Structure 1
Amino acid sequence: MIKKFAAVLLVVALTAFAAAGQTEGGAQGQAPAPVPAPAPTPAPAPAQPPPPVPAQAPGQPSVTVLDTLEVQGILGREVRSLADENMGRIVDVLVDGQGATRAAIIDFGGFLGVGSRKIAVAWQALHFVPAAEKRYGIVLELTRDQVKPAPEYKEGRPIIVIVASGKLEPLP
């Protein structure tokens, strides 16, 4: 279409120029000057709507965008008691066969890592407080005295979890 438009434009321009040259130049006996062919100007591309977003093919992964103000990583985060005691840091999270979170492993006690031990606390005993409301974001419903008798967590051994009531219960 652009080529046809350029060709028609060129014919019209040559015809008009030749006619003008015959009246002016023809009367004086001069040949009309050669007309340079106009450079074809690209026509602006017609506005097209953006292509539709293809439907997600079966089996293709989808994408979820998480706001950094709404989520946080917890491994290595400090845990405080309701009495604002330092309870240790979360070093692992345990899930069951269905992927439900069951317990958090806290590196409890000791000083600068000396004399500390890992204990399992029930996931329901942890509360995640928005940063604007409290200095520490993870609060355990237990005190240090309630957690002290908890047996040490060791991988590959039966797991004893301390729950918010302060009781020790085996993790089924």
Structure 2
Amino acid sequence: MDHSKHIPLRTDEISAANLDGANVYGPDDNHIGDVVHTDGAGHGTNVIVDVGGFLGIGAKRVSLPVSQLNFMRDENGKAHATTTMTKDQLKDLPEYQD
């Protein structure tokens, strides 16, 4: 997927309504997780991501600062994110507890 043509989300668009369910892609452009929840609003937001697994089964839930992700919309308007972190790096993070 060529993210260079995708439109970055503005700070005021960083919200659960826009981010929940967004795919997360790693540095090799492989799908590495999905946003399942956001905590807070704006720059202080933490994003909860399910990493690995299949259809949510066997996934590990981790918390990332929004600054670790680049959110954008594809040509169809669907929000997604990229990160420089790999799936293994995300799996090494502490598990998020509600």
Superposition CA RMSD, Å: 2.8
* The one of 35, 57, 62 aligned to 1:119: 62
* TM-score where L is the length of structure 1: 0.41
Greater share of strand: 2
Q: Which has the higher contact order (CA 8 A, sep 6+)?
A: 2
- The residue type paired with residue 91 of structure 1 is V
- How many residues in Structure 1 have an aligned counterpart in Structure 2? 83
> 1:149 maps to which residue?
92
Larger Rg: 1
Tell me the CA shift for residue 78 of structure 1: 0.7
Structure 2 residues without counterparts, runs of 5 or longer = 1-9
Measure, in 1, the Cα distance between the counterparts of 2:20 and 2:44: 14
Alignment of 1:7-156 (within 5 A): 73-95=18-40, 100-132=43-75, 137-155=80-98
Tell me the percent identity.
Answer: 28
Structure 1 residues without counterparts, runs of 5 or longer = 1-69, 156-172
- Runs of 4+ off more than 4 Å: none
Measure, in 1, the Cα distance between the counterparts of 2:38 and 2:18: 11
* TM-score where L is the length of structure 2: 0.68
